[in-house]
Amino acid sequence: MVPPTLTRRQQEIHEYLREHLDDFPHPPTLDELCDALGLSSRGSLHKQIQALIEAGLVEPMNNLRRGIRLVEEDMPPMGDSDALPLYGYIAAGRPIEAIRNPEMIDVPAQLRSSKPCYVLEVRGDSMIEEGILDGDWVVIEHRDQARNGEIVVALVDGEEATLKRLEAKSGEVVLHPANSSLAAMHYSPERVQVQGVLVGQMRRYH
Amino acid sequence: MVPPTLTRRQQEIHEYLREHLDDFPHPPTLDELCDALGLSSRGSLHKQIQALIEAGLVEPMNNLRRGIRLVEEDMPPMGDSDALPLYGYIAAGRPIEAIRNPEMIDVPAQLRSSKPCYVLEVRGDSMIEEGILDGDWVVIEHRDQARNGEIVVALVDGEEATLKRLEAKSGEVVLHPANSSLAAMHYSPERVQVQGVLVGQMRRYH
DNA sequence: TGGCAAAGTTCTCTTGATGTTCTATAATCA
DNA sequence: TGATTATAGAACATCAAGAGAACTTTGCCA
């Protein structure tokens, strides 16, 4: 998915981030980035970053400090428009963005959405009654919002990524497994971060 | 190819854009293009570009800066080497070969074998405990022999095609559903014809 | 636990660059 | 010569980008 046309300045900033983000000991604050870019207005920079976030090039930083991170997305090099990155295992105990240099996997257009997607390999039986088995590949649309009833990749306390059905009530978020031997888990909303929504699934038998 | 309504100058500019648009680091401004074309009036250039837009050769640039882009006219030449025929529904009550003019569906290489394959859409819940749900697509390798334990497309009495796990004993063939509310079916070997073996499975959630 | 400073977010305003429109004039061609 | 096309240039409209202030949220620390 080629992002909606970036302005030239946005391309420049994106390029700068790709080349210099690792130079900082921590992800920089907006003020530090302003300094590095020669800007003097935090608000202006924020607007540009916002555009990059909407284009799917930068991770959404929901009020987090030093939250500027690039989206891992080696865009398939032309022609291979059906290949998506395999980021690793779901329910493997760490945030998905941690995985680098992902393997690429072909995904038919019918199994993905028009938005940026990625692939995870399922570990465990927590969704077995939905027909999602250990070892399956799931296609995830990258977004941070989901509706009730959707199956999402949820990051709890920034540490553990799991695949569960989402139910957001007033004051709490419930993650429902699809396995009668497992209980639903209840969290306060700020502990749960949606990283994507299930749009497809694949399995191989040989 | 080029509509005859274009004037000569418009054809020249169109030709120039096709050859040199990629030379610019970003799409050029009208002033930059004027410079490259040896013009000195932005307004004149704009009028010519306008004509190309109306001819459908250039994307409309609604007040966008650096918005000059050529219309993509290349349709992919239908050479989908990864597409497999969708023959219809499994458990639909008739031999698979009966379906003509199948729809084609993209299947990633990982989900198919090197042998000829085809795709079926699953009807019913007979394999639900294997994670194969109603509406799923299954990728079938076309062969008439199978080993014990493989999931096969089996044609019984030449009439009904079903997806089941195969068990061939001495003197009989047992077809095992994966649904505790359904019983295994026993047939004499000559009544059962294997039409293919399950090698992949896909599901969409949107 | 509550306050405070730091950092993210939102907003308005300004400015220069850039796209758009218009008119007048020159060039080209039948 | 008359009509069409091409160009120049001015005037206008719009937008990207930045500055800076005000507001909100976060995270730290006593």
Can you tell me the mean pLDDT for A30-44? Answer: 93
A202 at B interface, C-beta within 8 A: yes
Can you tell me the mean pLDDT for A2-10? Answer: 70
Our measurement of CA B43 to C1' D12, in angstroms, reads: 12
Chain B residues touching A5 at Cβ < 8 A: 64, 67
* pLDDT above 50 for B153: yes
Q: Which residues make Cβ contacts (< 8 Å) with residue B181, sequence separation at least 6? A: none
* pLDDT above 50 for A77: no
Mean pLDDT score of chain A? 81
* pLDDT above 80 for A178: yes
The rounded distance, in Å, linking the Cα atoms of B17 and B33 is 9
Q: What is the DSSP string of A109-172?
A: GGGS-SS-EEEEEE-SSTTGGGT--TT-EEEEE--S---TT-EEEEEETTTEEEEEEEEEETTE
The reported pLDDT for the residue numbered B96 is 53
Reported CATH class of domain A83-202: mainly beta
The rounded distance, in Å, linking the Cα atoms of A156 and A160 is 5
Q: Residue B140 has which token pair?
A: 């079938």
The rounded distance, in Å, linking the Cα atoms of A185 and B159 is 48
Closest CA to A94 of A137, A153, A176, A135: A153
The reported pLDDT for the residue numbered B165 is 93
The rounded distance, in Å, linking the Cα atoms of B166 and B174 is 6
Residue pair A175/A162 in contact (Cβ under 8 Å)? The answer is yes
The rounded distance, in Å, linking the Cα atoms of B179 and A36 is 62
Tell me the nearest-neighbour CA distance from A26 into chain B, angstroms.
Answer: 31
Our measurement of CA B72 to C1' C30, in angstroms, reads: 37
Q: Residue A131's pLDDT band (boundaries 50, 70, 90)? A: very high
The rounded distance, in Å, linking the Cα atoms of B84 and B68 is 39
Q: Residue B3's pLDDT band (boundaries 50, 70, 90)? A: very low
* pLDDT above 80 for B4: no
**Domain A1-71, CATH 2.60.40.10 — does that match?**
no
Clarify whether B164 is annotated catalytic.
yes
Using the beta-carbon criterion (under 8 Å), do A111 and B201 form an inter-chain contact?
A: no
- Measured from the CB, is A9 under 7 Å from any atom of strand D? yes
- pLDDT tens, position by position, B115-129: 888 888 888 888 999
B103 at A interface, C-beta within 8 A: no
The rounded distance, in Å, linking the Cα atoms of B87 and B196 is 13
- Report DSSP state, residue B121: E
The percent of residues above 90 in pLDDT, for chain A, comes to: 26
Q: Residue A92's pLDDT band (boundaries 50, 70, 90)? A: very low
Nucleotide nearest to B6 (CA to C1'): D5
The reported pLDDT for the residue numbered B1 is 42
Q: Residue A205 has which token pair?
A: 């038998």
B113 at A interface, C-beta within 8 A: yes
Residue pair A106/A83 in contact (Cβ under 8 Å)? The answer is yes
Can you tell me the mean pLDDT for B15-41? Answer: 88
CATH code assigned to B1-74: 1.10.10.10
Q: A86-100, B10-24, B29-43, B45-59: which has the minimum mean pLDDT?
A: A86-100
Using the beta-carbon criterion (under 8 Å), do A113 and B204 form an inter-chain contact?
A: no
Q: Residue B73's pLDDT band (boundaries 50, 70, 90)? A: low
Our measurement of CA B50 to C1' C28, in angstroms, reads: 21
Nucleotide nearest to A28 (CA to C1'): C7
Residue pair A166/A154 in contact (Cβ under 8 Å)? The answer is yes
The reported pLDDT for the residue numbered A75 is 41
The reported pLDDT for the residue numbered A78 is 35
Q: Report the run of H or E that residue A34 belongs to, with start and end.
A: helix A30-37
* pLDDT above 90 for A97: no
List protein-proximal bases of chain C (any atom < 7 A from a CB).
6-12, 17-23
Using the beta-carbon criterion (under 8 Å), do A202 and B200 form an inter-chain contact?
A: yes
Residues 10-39 (A) near nucleic chain C, CB < 7 A: 29-31
Using the beta-carbon criterion (under 8 Å), do A106 and B110 form an inter-chain contact?
A: yes
A109 at B interface, C-beta within 8 A: yes
Can you tell me the mean pLDDT for A99-115? Answer: 77
The reported pLDDT for the residue numbered B75 is 41
Residue A203, strand partner residues: B201
The reported pLDDT for the residue numbered A47 is 94
* pLDDT above 80 for A133: yes
Domain ranges of chain A: 1-71, 83-202
Q: Bigger pLDDT: A130 or A142?
A: A130
